[in-house]
């Protein structure tokens, strides 16, 4: 019952970048060390974030990454969607899913409320909302 490592890392990375001043480049080594994320795994994630236009990359010496959009425009749910990790309306806590719009799962009723809260939290929280908390060990 938790987010994938990839999603966790991506959120921590973007939250950290959101705390930096605009136009300030941050390189992979700094991110990896500060956030305790394996360097090679981090660069793989960064390349993904660049591809979907959340981050701009500058290659070569003195290069690095910076956020491409306003921090108020990047929602946590957008990040989760990249790694297929957001909570879908039809997601059943017991892995059964909906049939004809109806979930017959034993825990259906109890699951509705926390599911809604999680969706709301992910959909309505932007990087701006969570900025300033840092995100360290």
Cα separation, 20 vs 9, in Å, equals: 17
**Binding segment toward DNA, per CB under 7 A, in 5-13, 105-113, 114-122, 129-137:** 5-13
The stretch among 26-34, 40-48, 62-70, 125-133 that binds a copy of itself (CB under 8 A) is: 125-133
> 102: buried, middle or exposed (CB in 10 Å: 19+, 13-18, 0-12)?
exposed
Q: Does 38 bind a copy of itself (CB under 8 A)?
A: no
Binding mask 34-53 for DNA (x = CB under 7 A): ----xxxx-xx-xx--x---
CA separation for the pair 15, 8 (Å, rounded): 11
Q: Which of residues 49-78 bind a copy of itself (CB under 8 A)?
A: 76
Rounded to the nearest whole angstrom, what is the least distance from the CB of residue 135 to a copy of itself in the complex? 4
Question: What is the per-residue burial (b if ≥16 Cβ within 10 Å, else e) of 86-99?
Answer: bbeeeebbeeeeee
Look at residue 114 and give the partner it binds from a copy of itself, DNA, none, a contact being a CB closer than 5 to 8 Å depending on partner kind: a copy of itself
Q: Which stretch binds DNA (CB under 7 A): 13-21, 23-31, 68-76, 119-127?
A: 23-31
Find out whether 92 and 100 touch, Cβ atoms under 8 Å.
no
Nearest to 119 by CA among 75, 72, 53: 75
27's contact among a copy of itself, DNA, none, with CB below 5 to 8 A by partner kind, is: DNA
CA–CA separation, 65 vs 87, rounded Å?
29
Binding-site ranges for DNA (CB under 7 A): 4-6, 9, 27-29, 38-41, 43-44, 46-47, 50, 57-65
């Amino acid at each position: 019952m938790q987010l994938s490592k990839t999603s966790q890392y991506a959120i921590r990375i973007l939250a950290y970048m959101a705390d930096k001043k605009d136009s300030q480049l941050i390189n992979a080594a700094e991110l990896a060390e500060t956030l305790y994320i394996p360097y090679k795994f981090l660069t793989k994630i960064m390349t993904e974030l660049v591809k979907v236009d959340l981050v701009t990359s500058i290659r070569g010496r003195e290069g690095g990454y910076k956020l491409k959009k306003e921090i108020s425009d990047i929602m946590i749910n957008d990040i989760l969607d990249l790694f297929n990790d957001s909570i879908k309306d039809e997601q059943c806590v017991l892995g059964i899913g909906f049939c004809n719009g109806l979930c017959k799962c034993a825990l259906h009723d109890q699951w509705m409320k926390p599911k809604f809260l999680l969706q709301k939290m992910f959909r309505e929280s932007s990087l701006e909302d969570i900025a300033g908390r840092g995100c360290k060990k």
